Structure 1
Amino acid sequence: MKQIYYVIQTLLRGRGSNIIKIISLGLSLTMSILLFSRVAYEQSFDTCYKDYDNLYQIWSVFTVKGEKYPPQEQNSGPVAGAILENFPEQVEAATSTCHWMNAPLYNGNVRFDEEKIVADSLYFQTMGIEVLSGKPVNDLQQPDIVFLSDRLAQKMFGGENPIGKVISYDHQYDLTVKGTYEALPENVTRHHDAVISMPTIWSRKIGNYSWSGGDSFPEYIRFRPGADKSVINTRIDAMIDKYRPAVDKKEFGYSAFVQPIRDTYRNREDVMRMRNIMSILGLAILFIAALNYVLISISSLTYRAKAIGVHKCNGASGGKIFGMFLLETGLIIAAALLLMALVLLNFRDFFEDTAVAKLSLLLAPARIWVPLSVITVLFIVGGVLPGRLFARIPVSQVFRRYTEGKKGWKRPLLFIQFAGVAFICGLMCVVMAQYQYVLNKDMGYDPQCMAIGDAYWDTEEARDAAYHFFKGLPYVEAVSSANNTPIFGYSGSMIKDEGGQALFSSRACYYMREDYPSLMGMTFKAGRMARDKDEVIVNETFAEMMRWGEDVVGRMINIDGRRYKISGVLNDFQIESFTTPKMPFIAKGDKNFYGTIHLRLKAPFETNLRQLNKDVAQAFHDRTIDFRGYEKNVANAYNSVRVFRNATLMAAITMFFVMLMGLIGYTADEVRRRSKEIAIRKVNGAEASSVLELLSKDVLVVALPAVLIGSIAAWYVNGIWMEQFAEQIPLSWIVYVLVVVANLAVIVSCVLWKSWRIANENPVNSIKSE
């Protein structure tokens, strides 16, 4: 009890420095725990499925003219079923899925926008999702059948039994609820709250479920327990070759492989890149915070040595002194954790937006080991190292002043802090600059004041009526449509030469109105928009890949066995985001009005967008047409970049604050330790400026190489991070020079501020205190 009493008294006497410790540790713990929890959360994706180690996903690989395309999750429809049929000893279930039914569900007039998936009858058995009611093996073989998650069923029907209830898909046709299943958590790659039977789309002749093309189906297999999983990848290509049409084999190659479903998310390049960088940030913040605590603690040795000597005179052993310091560290960390909890509660929305996950998921009991590990490391580094120094202080310190500078400890700690801050500042500057660059760069079309929404009408009369409705709205400047829009990308279409040999896969817009390029702000390099059914337009990249030079208009091209004449060449525009390189593009003309409707609205945009959705809901009450701002979709394409920008900004602020606290503690200790030296120098004629220069040089010797190393590390990591962008902001070495100068300027300013009083003080005061 006496030890606890002495520790509390010590904390109260040094409350100024302890408040600094608590604030710096609280902020550091908040950021490092969130970063590490996010990394751990990403590693937990797709582990909710029963016996997930036996659940594998199928990947397809296409080869054109000897060039292998990257593996893709979309497969030809029959692949999963063929694996189940050909490998019965290894595989117990297989399933095909698709995501073509994205419109809302309705219970009466109540709308539900939850995600949906279309799947065959073995879906639940393959995935290992618990079925709560119904018989999916039988029911999902019928059209117009849906299974709901228990979460959506409760939301739709409350406490009523959902079985047999009829709901509407987009007010277009009815679906009968035949069963329910346990809702999936957030950390799955294929999240959904409704499973619609695969025959529902077959009955409406949607899609191409064959060995000849139609690569639009994510598919999965479940191995039998203890099965040899290598057999599938060894023999799958021979199996596919057995089923593929001979004409397809001549045009392009097609192979496949399977891998654990857990690897789907965590092996994505962007996920691995973010995971590595977030781990580096988390480690940097954690160790800089711990070393800062050590630095401030060591800096307090000068004035705490006598108190420790008194304890030893009263019988305290080195072990007891060590235990008292560990207890002191534990209490400070506990206070820092309390501060962290207050910060998370008050800024919950911001942190959830930054981490792209709810705090309840990041800090779930299954991941409680993350904060415990962080706290343990902090306690060991921050408590044990300075605690041993305190325990070794001799009893003689009661009788003389403790003047040991301990620079062997303090300068390396300060060096690490300076390097860490320079690293995170260099990273933050580039990330923020790149985000603004891709967000504002010219995309080759104009997304401003653009609203888009998907709508289809069955007859030409209905399409014309819809066109004139939108054209007649007073806040609409221009109207057009196409089968998709650039930011979402386009389907692929194989381009062949005159002999029918496949050349490359081009992005294809299967139809667009003649006025569409004008509305989008796209410009023609040559020719005009396609008007006839046998005409198409291409972009510059397409012409370059065909090696046509400038003579493009009027050439003939073979698409899907049909010849088309090129009527015009579009200047290149960005397809998808600037993380995607330039792609060849081809488009057909169509005068009909349907697909993705594009409207350019007058200002004020947001007000007119809300009015547009109200007017559309009234005019087309039998269907769901939602319009959203195009610029918001562009911003969403860079959501991961924005999140990383926020994370680096918060990390930079945290580390900068921690570094300043450590620097202030170090400078205060140096001023206290060298006060007699400074006084003697002043007595011998030294000016205040020379004293400030002396102290500044002492810190700059440590700061300059540290900041240089930190900036070089930032340059290296920035290079890795920037690899995801096809378009990169032009940066030169001057950016990192500015980072170095800015960091050194702040460090020197802090030293000057803390040293100003002693440099201008009457030297008699310092000598007298001796």
Structure 2
Amino acid sequence: MRDLNIAIRSLFKRGRHNVTKIVSLSIGLAIGLVLIAKIYFEQSYDSFYPNADRIYRLTGYTSNENESKVSESVSAIVAPTMKEEVPGIEAATRLTHIGGDRNKFITSDKRRYSIGGILMADSCLFDVLPRPVLSGDPKKVLARPGYAMISRSFAEKLGGIDRAEGTVIASDNKPEMTLTIGGVFEDPPENSHLRYDVLVTLEEADDGGFLAWFGRHYLTYVLLSPGVTPETLRPAIDRMQQKHIVPQALQNAGVDRLAFFLKPIREVHTGEANIRNMTVMLAILAFALLFTAVMNYILIAISAIVNRSKEIALTKSYGASGTDIHRMTMSETLVHMILSLTLAVLLILACRDTVEGLLNVSLAALFFSKGAFILSGICAIVFFVTGFVPGMLFARIPVASAFRNFKENQRHWKQGLLFMEFTASALLVSLLIVIGEQHRHMLNSDPGYSYDRLAYCAVTDLDSTARTMLTDEIEKLPEVEQVSSCIRLPFGQMPGGAAMLPGTDQTCFEIADHFRVGDGFLALMEIPVVEGRSFTEEVSHSNEIMVSRSFVDRMKDFADWPDGAVGKRISITGHEQRDFTICGVYENYRIGSLAGNLDDRPSVMLYGRQDRRIPSRYLLVKFRRMTAQAVEKADSRLQELMPDAELELTLYSSRIAGLYESSRMLWIYVTIGGLITVIISLIGLIGYTNDEINRRRKEIAIRKINGASVRTILRIFLGDILRITLPAALLGCGISYFVSEYWQRQFAEKVPQNPLFFIAGGLSVCIIVTACVVYRTWKVANENPVNNLKSE
């Protein structure tokens, strides 16, 4: 306690730079701990289930001689069959998402409520993926058509759990979809890959016979019995497949092999490539920040040894041992650590909205979890290192030499710590440049179509008359160049299908099915037609089909079309009408995005101006000039024409930018981390430079008296620092090269690893260091040498 009192009283003593140490350490702790908490949060997905280690999601694997595919969903019949025929499966369930990102429900008194996801699930859902039930019986509710279970948060919007049960709600988008609330469950936590507010009965739509194994797909989860592993179930799963999936069924589906595998639920989120890469990058960033903050604290502490040598010598002369000096230093570090953590917490709370916005998770989910133990351990390690190293150096000061040549003895320590700080700075600055270039490359790459003047609006729930009216009225606006419609947008996922030769049952290859597009779709998107012509438009029915250039190239392996594809007949699965005539071939364009979900399948599209069976989901609006005023005018017109539909235009360019949001966020993280790391390093550099100036004042004065110029004095200090900075920058850039190469593996197209990126990163650190040293030494280099000699 006495040592703690002494440490508190000495907080503001001159020469110890305690405020600088505490502030720099608190900033490093604030950002470092937030990043570590984010890493733990990402790795803790779905661990909240009581039997998470026994819950698995089924994945399907199909292959033929041309390609193989892994699907995260399987046909509807797999779950009940596996539960019945595979010993060791305790429970199985199926579910699927319905609706979109913005779901609204309306009550009988016309009040609207926005909610999250809607799941269709069978009655076994809570047997596999349990949530605390606050009211109702989920097994009965999810077996009863027209009834729903809702989350606590939705129930509270409706007036509370007691009032919610029995309430009738209707989808704002689908008024015919009315649901009676039969129960309430606790909201899934933020670290759940399944987020939903409403559960409704799964509509059974299984095909009979062998086709059921290739029919409609659902997310399927199973709960294994205690002690059972996927490896022990493999023989039983294989027997199930052999029993139900005969070779003829595989041949009809164009598949050589169909297999099912179990994926641990904890790996559903953490197993994604972008999550793995993001975790590694955040770990490197957090380590660099904390490491720099700790090294800077030690550097400043070592710099204060000269000023404290007399105090330590006197303490040891009165009988203090090395252990006593260690205890005194650790007590002082404990006070600093407590103050740094307090300041870090206040900083995090002050920036709470920013932190939650950047990390997309609440502070409560970050810190009030099992991850708090990890953060406590990190703090303990930081405390030990920041206290032990200075304490070790303090304890080694002999009483007899406390005032003799002590400055020189500790110079190499300080240079070594600066080297490590500069290495971390060069690493992050170089990494920042690569991430920025990769993001810019993806954002500006040519997808094979034009979207710079394009906006779209979801019109899924409007009837054909309303969609036609909207198209005609919006096209009349002088700001609008063209309007069209489609069912699928190019950046999204396309449903699968198979190309077949008419009159045969054998699949040629898988295709990405664009489904039906409206008038002038290709012209609006500026996708070139390379062979034949576009669709015959304004007809009620069309058997024409357009295919991509890659479709024609793939078809060469299955059919001989010496005079081209135009006019040839082709069958496409997944449509009521299977045989179509190819009227044209369009240039390949990008389906999906470069962020790991690029779809390289050949594509096809059909014509359908207003298909009543499969209505157009999106209205596409191309402006003559993309201005805020033009978009606002079109938005206002949409609201005026359909006041109850809540239609809103979305800029296509903003949606494209959203596809690469993860790389943009990483760029922001590294920018903040790199900036803080450089600032902390400069604090240490300034302290080191000040020590060197004080140590060498007599030398500088003598050199000036002997004719040394200001440039010569500056060169002496710069040479000393650059001998540390250049190797550190080289090492940091080298590490950055391997880190950035690892990070880029997730992208379909990578920006080349240009050496200039790393040269620019290392050079930037060197320039900043040079500017800082020149700034701190300029004054002393211009001082009167007589004054410096007097002070000696």
- Is TM > 0.5 for Structure 1 vs Structure 2? yes
**Contact kept in structure 2, 1:104 and 1:624, CA below 8 Å:** no
Aligned residue for 1:528? 533
Aligned residue for 1:541? 550
**Contact kept in structure 1, 2:490 and 2:592, CA below 8 Å:** yes
Cα distance change of structure 1 residues 447 and 550 upon mapping to structure 2, 3 Å threshold? farther
Q: How much has 1:268 moved relative to structure 2? A: 1.1
- Is the partner of 1:678 in helix, strand or coil? helix
Aligned residue for 1:233? 234
- Distance in 2, matches of 1:209 and 1:313, equals 92
- Is the partner of 2:149 in helix, strand or coil? strand
Q: How much has 1:530 moved relative to structure 2? A: 3.0
Greater shift, 522-531 or 218-227, is seen at 522-531
Pairing of 1:205-244 with structure 2 (within 5 A): 211-244=212-245
Say if 2:497 is the partner of 1:496: no
1:365-386 CA distance string (max 9 Å, x none): 4321233122212111111101
Cα distance change of structure 1 residues 454 and 712 upon mapping to structure 2, 3 Å threshold? same
Paired residue for 1:553, among 566, 571, 580?
Answer: 566
- Distance in 2, matches of 1:392 and 1:459, equals 85
Cα distance change of structure 1 residues 610 and 132 upon mapping to structure 2, 3 Å threshold? farther
**Aligned AA for 2:167?**
K
Q: How much has 1:619 moved relative to structure 2? A: 4.3
**Contact kept in structure 2, 1:211 and 1:243, CA below 8 Å:** no
Paired residue for 1:347, among 318, 331, 351?
Answer: 351
- Is the partner of 1:444 in helix, strand or coil? coil
Aligned residue for 1:51? 51
Aligned residue for 2:78? 79
Cα distance change of structure 1 residues 331 and 545 upon mapping to structure 2, 3 Å threshold? farther
- Distance in 2, matches of 1:518 and 1:273, equals 39
Aligned residue for 1:184? 188
Aligned residue for 2:670? 648
**Contact kept in structure 2, 1:64 and 1:503, CA below 8 Å:** no
Aligned residue for 1:266? 270
Cα distance change of structure 1 residues 232 and 602 upon mapping to structure 2, 3 Å threshold? farther
Backbone CA RMSD of aligned residues: 2.8
Aligned residue for 2:41? 41
- Distance in 2, matches of 1:174 and 1:529, equals 42
Cα distance change of structure 1 residues 353 and 486 upon mapping to structure 2, 3 Å threshold? same
Paired residue for 1:695, among 717, 734, 739?
Answer: 717
**Contact kept in structure 2, 1:33 and 1:371, CA below 8 Å:** yes
- Distance in 1, matches of 2:551 and 2:327, equals 72
Cα distance change of structure 1 residues 581 and 183 upon mapping to structure 2, 3 Å threshold? closer
Pairing of 1:305-704 with structure 2 (within 5 A): 305-396=309-400, 400=404, 402-456=406-460, 461=465, 463-472=467-476, 476-496=480-500, 500-531=505-536, 533-547=542-556, 551-560=564-573, 562-579=578-595, 580-581=597-598, 583=600, 584-592=602-610, 594-601=616-623, 606=628, 609=631, 616=638, 619-620=641-642, 625-704=647-726
- Distance in 2, matches of 1:48 and 1:622, equals 40
**Aligned AA for 1:682?**
K
Cα distance change of structure 1 residues 208 and 719 upon mapping to structure 2, 3 Å threshold? farther
Q: Percent of aligned pairs with the same residue?
A: 29
- Distance in 2, matches of 1:654 and 1:471, equals 51
Aligned residue for 1:768? 790
- Distance in 2, matches of 1:159 and 1:576, equals 41
Cα distance change of structure 1 residues 462 and 245 upon mapping to structure 2, 3 Å threshold? farther
**Contact kept in structure 2, 1:609 and 1:628, CA below 8 Å:** no
Q: Return 5+ residue gaps in structure 2 as ranges.
A: none
Greater shift, 583-592 or 609-618, is seen at 609-618
Aligned residue for 2:168? 166
Aligned residue for 1:289? 293
Greater shift, 566-575 or 206-215, is seen at 206-215
- Is the partner of 1:495 in helix, strand or coil? strand
Q: How much has 1:476 moved relative to structure 2? A: 4.4
Cα distance change of structure 1 residues 142 and 606 upon mapping to structure 2, 3 Å threshold? farther
1:572-624 CA distance string (max 9 Å, x none): 22212222446221111112263222223566755565665565456446756
1:442-481 CA distance string (max 9 Å, x none): 3222333433233346865555344434445666443211
Aligned residue for 1:725? 747
Say if 2:37 is the partner of 1:19: no
- Distance in 2, matches of 1:323 and 1:638, equals 51
Cα distance change of structure 1 residues 256 and 432 upon mapping to structure 2, 3 Å threshold? same
- Distance in 2, matches of 1:697 and 1:673, equals 16
Cα distance change of structure 1 residues 625 and 218 upon mapping to structure 2, 3 Å threshold? farther
1:138-178 CA distance string (max 9 Å, x none): 33223222111122112123364322221102323211112
**Contact kept in structure 1, 2:25 and 2:293, CA below 8 Å:** yes
- Is the partner of 1:161 in helix, strand or coil? helix
Aligned residue for 1:28? 28
Greater shift, 525-534 or 396-405, is seen at 396-405
Aligned residue for 2:202? 198
- Is the partner of 2:496 in helix, strand or coil? strand
Q: How much has 1:73 moved relative to structure 2? A: 1.1
- Distance in 1, matches of 2:153 and 2:84, equals 35
- Distance in 2, matches of 1:707 and 1:84, equals 59
Say if 2:710 is the partner of 1:712: no
**Contact kept in structure 1, 2:432 and 2:667, CA below 8 Å:** yes
**Contact kept in structure 2, 1:421 and 1:655, CA below 8 Å:** yes
Q: How many residues align?
A: 765
Aligned residue for 1:96? 94
Q: How much has 1:658 moved relative to structure 2? A: 1.0
Q: How much has 1:727 moved relative to structure 2? A: 2.5
**Aligned AA for 2:90?**
E
Q: How much has 1:90 moved relative to structure 2? A: 0.9
**Aligned AA for 1:186?**
E
Q: How much has 1:18 moved relative to structure 2? A: 2.5
**Contact kept in structure 2, 1:78 and 1:209, CA below 8 Å:** no
Q: Return 5+ residue gaps in structure 1 as ranges.
A: none
Aligned residue for 1:105? 105
Cα distance change of structure 1 residues 673 and 52 upon mapping to structure 2, 3 Å threshold? same
**Aligned AA for 2:608?**
D
- Distance in 2, matches of 1:181 and 1:505, equals 41
Say if 2:298 is the partner of 1:300: no
**Contact kept in structure 2, 1:541 and 1:582, CA below 8 Å:** no
Q: How much has 1:345 moved relative to structure 2? A: 2.4
- Is the partner of 1:99 in helix, strand or coil? strand
**Contact kept in structure 2, 1:124 and 1:130, CA below 8 Å:** no
**Aligned AA for 1:93?**
A
- Distance in 2, matches of 1:628 and 1:485, equals 12
**Contact kept in structure 1, 2:16 and 2:301, CA below 8 Å:** no
- Distance in 1, matches of 2:178 and 2:631, equals 30
